[in-house]
Structure 1
Amino acid sequence: MPTTTPDRIDFRQLCLRAVAYILLIAALMEGVMMEAQRPIEQEFSELGFTEFTQTSLLVLATGLALYTRFRYRQLEHVMLLLAGLFGASLIREQDKWLDQFVFDGAWQALVTLLAVPLLTVVIRRRRAFVDEMASCSGTFAFGLFAAGFLTTYVFSRLFGRGELWQAMLAEGYVRVFKNAAEEVSEMFGYTLMVLAIVELLLLIRRRVKAAGGATT
């Protein structure tokens, strides 16, 4: 009989989560479908479903990362860095409103104020950070996060390039196609990263339980 370890996920639980994650993604895509049926000038705008969902996912991811760090005190440097990443992305998503109502370039200033102290802490405690990364790099949660990170910060940027869509659509090019491709793939990446944080939280809870309930 195989030995059960905290890093392993029970098959039944894995199936239940798979169903839940599929339903979540399907629900989000239904929202995208509803947005696509709006007048073309309102599709994938700053006030649309996709942009609102991206902001909501980033708020949720930041909150979960901070909760996990302060509640369990495990993977605290990893969680601190993740909270900073999601927080910076959340600020970046509000660039239009910050530029309009605060000042031009406000989001860059806010991201800098957030990132510099967090990176300083992680760099100063880099050995602890590396050890924490090693302890979770082979987990399901890490795989989800890596997929989400690559989807959001690499794939969506390349897939949403205007010149790519101009080359594919030629004289039929309409900017909304480019916007839809970039924003929807970005939203999917954020979704994967939220699920990764959920999985990290569940992983830590399993480890704490296996260790007898100690949270530090």
Structure 2
Amino acid sequence: MPDSPPAWPLGFRSTLVKAVIYLLVIGAIAQGAYLEALYLPEVRFTELGFTELTQSLVLGLSCLLLIYVRHVLKVWPTITLLLFAFIAASLVREQDFLLDRQVADGAWQVIVALIVIPSISWVIYQRRRFLEEFSHFSNSFSFGLFTAGVLTTYIFSRLYGRQDFWRAVMQDNYVRDFKDIAEELIELLGYSLILFAMIELLLLARRVHQARKQASA
């Protein structure tokens, strides 16, 4: 059964609708951070603030979409497993403060290992299937968005959030909070791109699922 979707052209209307939705989501996130800074002085940019909670929400939604693609649509099981392990590990990492306080110091690292090690081991075992699935996924818009999200969150935000950089910019007016806020907001932007990538993956997986049904009919 085919694992690649039919070569249907992307309609202008559907592309425009998605672009508007993504634009609104990004705008809502920026506005939420703005309102957090104005009206939530006690929790702003903390573990209980809008930005941190939205990061967890975005990652959680991404995980749910991957579960649906893998277990309901049954499309690209090794790709979706690897993506799920990566995003779920990021979600757990975002809860490090809570886990360290409520469970044990370093608890998040143990949970991440329990997620990542079995998943990577299974993908390695199924490496031929993974490479076949990746040949389809790597040519998709979803892969491009996912790559952009990863680069934004895990590369650019880390480099942009370097203390030396902010000390050079602010000099005697350096305040660590500004650096942390900038880094957290960029991370949220990257996580949002990853969520958009998972939405695109869902739409692509539905096409694969429909193609399989048509082939088996």
Which residue is 1:109 aligned to? 110
% same residue:
45
Q: Which has the higher contact order (CA 8 A, sep 6+)?
A: 2
Distance between the aligned counterparts of 2:170 and 2:40, measured in 1? 20
Distance between the aligned counterparts of 1:119 and 1:206, measured in 2? 27
Please give the TM-score of this superposition, normalised by the length of structure 2: 0.92
Specify whether residues 105 and 157 from structure 1 end up closer, same or farther in structure 2 by C-alpha distance, changes over 3 A only. Answer: same
Distance between the aligned counterparts of 1:101 and 1:83, measured in 2? 25
Deviation at 1:10, TM superposition (A): 1.5
Structure 2: runs of 5+ lacking an equivalent: none
Give the counterpart letter for 1:101 in structure 2.
Q
Deviation at 1:35, TM superposition (A): 1.3
Deviation at 1:39, TM superposition (A): 6.4
Distance between the aligned counterparts of 1:84 and 1:214, measured in 2? 31
Query: Do 1:84 and 1:115's aligned partners in 2 also have CA atoms closer than 8 Å?
Result: yes
Which residue is 2:90 aligned to? 89
| 1:86-107 deviation digits (Å, cap 9, x = unpaired) | 1111110010111111111111
Distance between the aligned counterparts of 1:41 and 1:159, measured in 2? 26
Specify whether residues 39 and 55 from structure 1 end up closer, same or farther in structure 2 by C-alpha distance, changes over 3 A only. Answer: closer
Deviation at 1:145, TM superposition (A): 0.7
Which residue is 2:168 aligned to? 167
Dislocated runs of 4+, deviation >6 Å: none
Deviation at 1:70, TM superposition (A): 0.6
Query: Do 2:157 and 2:186's aligned partners in 1 also have CA atoms closer than 8 Å?
Result: yes
Which residue is 1:77 aligned to? 78
Query: Do 1:91 and 1:111's aligned partners in 2 also have CA atoms closer than 8 Å?
Result: yes
Which residue is 1:181 aligned to? 182
Query: Do 1:145 and 1:192's aligned partners in 2 also have CA atoms closer than 8 Å?
Result: yes
Which residue is 1:119 aligned to? 120
Distance between the aligned counterparts of 2:44 and 2:77, measured in 1? 40
Deviation at 1:66, TM superposition (A): 1.1
Specify whether residues 209 and 160 from structure 1 end up closer, same or farther in structure 2 by C-alpha distance, changes over 3 A only. Answer: same
Structure 1: runs of 5+ lacking an equivalent: none
Which residue is 2:146 aligned to? 145
Which residue is 1:64 aligned to? 65
Please give the TM-score of this superposition, normalised by the length of structure 1: 0.92
| 1:144-200 deviation digits (Å, cap 9, x = unpaired) | 111011111111111111221111111111112111111001001111111101101
The alignment yields a C-alpha RMSD, in angstroms, of 1.8
Which residue is 1:202 aligned to? 203
